[in-house]
């Protein structure tokens, strides 16, 4: 794995670790997930805004920008769901039954 790829996953893991720390008896994973998704959307909007010089430019690219982020998110979500399906027992801590 190249250093750039390692750094990518290190940053992702840091976000996941923070979210895992926020899950408590009072705050279930679904609520933390909603906050994480909101933060991601907010950050994506900020990153997009940085690429424009005015609101008219940003407004003109709104649909293209949303399509880009939705396509990328879908691709990443599909890959991660496939990974969880393949490794479900391992990731969910389910011991294999010995026969």
Count the helices and strands in the chain (H runs, E runs): 5, 0
Cβ distance 32 to 22 under 8 Å? yes
Where exactly are the structural domains of the chain?
Answer: 36-91
Question: Tens-of-pLDDT digits for all 99 residues of the chain?
Answer: 899 999 999 999 999 999 999 999 999 999 999 999 999 999 999 999 999 999 999 999 999 999 999 999 999 999 999 999 999 999 999 977 655
Task: Name which CATH class applies to 36-91.
Answer: mainly alpha
């Amino acid at each position: 794995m190249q250093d750039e790829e390692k750094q990518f996953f290190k940053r992702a893991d840091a976000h996941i670790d923070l979210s895992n720390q926020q899950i408590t008896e009072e705050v279930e994973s679904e609520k933390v997930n909603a906050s994480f998704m909101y933060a991601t959307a907010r950050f994506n909007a900020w990153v997009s805004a940085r690429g424009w010089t005015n609101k008219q430019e940003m407004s003109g690219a709104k649909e293209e920008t949303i399509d880009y982020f939705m396509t990328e998110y879908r691709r990443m979500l599909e890959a991660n769901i496939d990974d969880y399906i393949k490794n479900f027992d391992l990731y969910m801590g389910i011991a294999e039954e010995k026969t």
